[in-house]
């Protein structure tokens, strides 16, 4: 039986009612917001959204940098019972137009730096009635952009009056849609309920991270990414802690300075940040306040876990999550990290490994497809019955990741099921070869993909990014792999590149490397 519950109220007004009104909730580039100020701001933005015609259950697409406006717009949409749809800021106008049409958003709120893409994306979108920009109105001078009225953020807020009481959503009502396309394919909107937000805060947030009200969170992953919105909104606000918001793109220098400036205690990143951070040899003093790190997106090589612990003095808890599950469902735990593994099922989730015939693997040491169950799994993809039938099976979700469980119960990622290669009739896990390559002192990053040879048979090819000042020799790297792995797993060629193609969320676009290698 559904119960009344509004996640925006749970994260803001309920904190004020619990006595946290004067505590700092948000640290942003222009100052600070207490929980009372944040709640008032959410009420004002909620009034603006209502005034521009947003109604319960309608979608509000948000194309914005991480700042107070995005933060409050997400919460305000949920406050009035609408559905927040934060979008990647790295999409082209054409890619964005797919989201505008697929979500049937009635309003789009954007940061001015994306005005050109937004103008291209909203052309001919029949359901969109308002476009709101947070700066100057850089869109249609007549106040119209392809039929939708365009407004500035300030005008939108001035049009409405604060909505004091949140809409009577159920825990089952949709609160948040997050689009995912994985590393390739048509974007799919994973639909999350208000209950899912409380669920991830009360499982991974409190029981694994151990977040408490004195924590200051800093996340390299942005709010439009499931990993980022948990780190920067759900976990801190659920306990009265604070978050640092930064609109710029992350780099080790900027984020280590932010960590020092705000005395961050929880630092969230992805392997493609930890690697360059270690290579840049950033001053450890900048991380003096950090008590714990978290990593997701891709498996964290053991070398990086040890590097961060030895240089900066904190443990990085690697885990695996998904947009569909809203956050991390298998994670290492403090004091019991198994480096190189994703750890153990988070309380509240169950994991199963299944063989290709669907039978469940009970023992350790046999690899299989990872399935998970847990309360935060989305209700499905919006209007994608075909994929829903493949991915969601009763309470279980097929993750698409190939995993193995050790005797100690820790789960280790072998790569995406689709990435595993058959070379000369034998299975080769690209991540196993990548882990070996990363043990080489000259390398900062390494990715292995299967590329068909003249006979159409897959051969492993490595793409490597050297550490600054290093120029590794391809033959030496292949010999290095031979020395540490079964010979059939060695890359047959090594390509040195300056950087690897990545998605907005830092995942390697393996398909691009396969295309590049095939040329
Ligand atoms: O990629 C992951 O591991 C992840 C973690 C948390 C939330 C979302 C994702 C995709």
Which protein residue's CA is at the shortest distance from atom 10 of ligand 1? Answer: 322
DSSP-derived secondary structure letter, 444? E
DSSP code string of 71-104: HHHHHHHHHTT-EEEE--TT--HHHHHHHHHHHT
Helix/strand/coil for 214: coil
d(CA 226, CA 96): 18
> To test the ligand 1 pocket, which listed residue (88, 200, 227) has its Cβ within 8 A of the most ligand atoms?
227
Ligand 1 geometric centre to CA of 324 (Å): 9
Quick check: CB of 325 below 6 Å from ligand 1? no
Query: Cβ–Cβ contacts within 10 Å for residue 136, how many?
Result: 9
> To test the ligand 1 pocket, which listed residue (325, 326, 329) has its Cβ within 8 A of the most ligand atoms?
325
Quick check: CB of 300 below 6 Å from ligand 1? no
Quick check: CB of 227 below 6 Å from ligand 1? yes
Q: Label the pairing between strands 216-219 and 266-269.
A: parallel
Ligand 1 geometric centre to CA of 321 (Å): 4
pLDDT score for 109: 98
326's tokens = 């809203």
| Cβ atoms of residues 418 and 400 within 8 Å | yes
Q: 218 - beta bridge partners?
A: 267
* Chain segment 417-468, per-residue pLDDT in tens: 777 777 776 767 888 899 899 999 999 999 999 888 777 777 899 999 999 9
Quick check: CB of 190 below 6 Å from ligand 1? no
Quick check: CB of 86 below 6 Å from ligand 1? no
Helix (H) or strand (E) holding 189: strand 188-193
d(CA 44, CA 23): 20
Quick check: CB of 262 below 6 Å from ligand 1? no
Q: Is the pLDDT of residue 184 over 50?
A: no
Task: Determine if residue 458 is left, alpha or beta; phi over 0 gives left, psi from -120 to 50 gives alpha, anything else beta.
Answer: beta
Quick check: CB of 226 below 6 Å from ligand 1? yes
What is the helix, strand, coil percentage profile of the chain, to 5?
35, 25, 40
Burial class (CB in 10 A: 0-12, 13-18, 19+), 160: middle
* Chain segment 272-327, per-residue pLDDT in tens: 899 889 999 899 999 999 999 999 988 898 999 999 999 999 999 999 999 999 99
| Cβ atoms of residues 208 and 353 within 8 Å | no
> To test the ligand 1 pocket, which listed residue (192, 327, 403) has its Cβ within 8 A of the most ligand atoms?
327
* Chain segment 112-150, per-residue pLDDT in tens: 999 999 999 998 899 999 999 998 765 665 566 666 789
Which protein residue's CA is at the shortest distance from atom 1 of ligand 1? Answer: 297
Average pLDDT, the chain: 93
The half-sphere exposure of 358 on its side-chain side, counting CA atoms within 13 A, is 3
Q: Is the pLDDT of residue 45 over 90?
A: yes
Ligand 1 geometric centre to CA of 420 (Å): 20
Q: CA nearest 295: which of 260, 277, 320? A: 320
Positive/negative CA dihedral, 382, 383, 388, 394: positive
Q: If you search the block for the tokens 């070398």, which residue do you land on?
A: 303
Q: CA nearest 289: which of 236, 235, 239, 218? A: 218
* Chain segment 242-273, per-residue pLDDT in tens: 999 999 999 999 999 999 999 999 999 998 89
Q: Which atom of ligand 1 is nearest to the CA of 297?
A: 1
Ligand 1 geometric centre to CA of 373 (Å): 15
Beta strands in 418-473 (DSSP E): 421-423, 426-428, 443-452, 458-466
d(CA 420, CA 431): 9
């Amino acid at each position: 039986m559904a119960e009344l519950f509004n996640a925006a109220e749970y994260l803001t007004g309920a904190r004020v009612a619990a006595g946290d009104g004067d505590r700092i909730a948000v640290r942003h580039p222009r100052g600070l917001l207490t929980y009372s100020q944040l709640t008032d701001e959410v009420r004002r933005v909620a009034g603006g959204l209502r005034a521009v015609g947003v109604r319960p259950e309608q979608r509000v697409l948000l194309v914005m940098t991480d700042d107070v406006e995005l933060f409050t717009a997400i919460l305000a949409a949920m406050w009035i019972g609408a559905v927040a749809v934060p979008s990647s800021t790295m999409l082209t106008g054409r890619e964005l137009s797919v989201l505008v049409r697929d979500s049937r958003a009635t309003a789009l709120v954007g940061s001015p730096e994306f005005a050109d893409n937004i103008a291209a994306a909203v052309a001919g979108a029949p359901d969109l009635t308002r476009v709101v920009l947070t700066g100057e109105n850089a869109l249609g001078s007549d106040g119209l952009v392809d039929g939708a009225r365009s407004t500035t953020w300030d005008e939108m807020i001035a049009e409405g009056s604060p909505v004091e009481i949140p809409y009577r959503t159920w825990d089952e009502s949709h609160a948040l849609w997050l689009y995912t396309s994985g590393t390739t394919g048509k974007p799919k909107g994973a639909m999350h309920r208000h209950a899912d937000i409380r669920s991830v805060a009360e499982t991974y947030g409190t029981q694994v991270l151990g977040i408490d009200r004195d924590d200051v969170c800093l996340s390299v992953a942005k709010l439009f990414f499931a990993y980022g919105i948990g780190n920067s909104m759900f976990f801190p606000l659920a306990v009265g802690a604070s978050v640092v918001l930064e609109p710029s793109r992350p780099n080790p220098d900027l984020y280590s300075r932010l960590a020092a400036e705000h005395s961050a205690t929880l630092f969230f990143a992805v392997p493609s940040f930890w690697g360059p951070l270690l290579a840049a040899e950033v001053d450890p003093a900048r991380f003096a306040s950090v008590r714990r790190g978290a990593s997701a997106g891709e498996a964290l090589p053991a070398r990086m876990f040890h590097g961060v612990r030895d240089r900066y003095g904190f443990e990085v808890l690697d885990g695996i999550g998904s947009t569909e599950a809203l956050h991390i469902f298998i994670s290492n735990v403090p004091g019991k990290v198994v480096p190189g593994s994703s750890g153990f099922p988070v309380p509240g989730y169950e994991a199963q490994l299944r063989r290709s015939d669907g039978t469940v693997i009970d023992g350790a040491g046999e690899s299989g497809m990872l399935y998970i169950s847990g309360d935060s799994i989305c209700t499905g993809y919006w209007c994608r019955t075909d994929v829903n039938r493949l991915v969601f099976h009763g309470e279980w979700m097929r993750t698409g990741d190939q995993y193995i469980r050790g005797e100690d119960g820790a789960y280790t990622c072998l790569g995406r099921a689709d990435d595993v290669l058959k070379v000369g009739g034998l299975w080769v896990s690209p991540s196993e070869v990548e882990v070996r390559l990363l043990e080489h002192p000259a390398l900062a990053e390494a990715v292995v993909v299967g590329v068909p040879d003249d006979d159409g048979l897959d051969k492993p090819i490595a793409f490597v990014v050297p550490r600054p000042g290093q120029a590794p020799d391809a033959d030496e790297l292949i010999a290095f792999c031979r020395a540490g792995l079964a010979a059939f797993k060695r890359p047959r060629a090594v390509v040195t590149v300056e950087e690897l193609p990545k998605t907005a969320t830092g995942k390697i676009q393996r398909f691009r490397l396969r295309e590049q290698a095939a040329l």
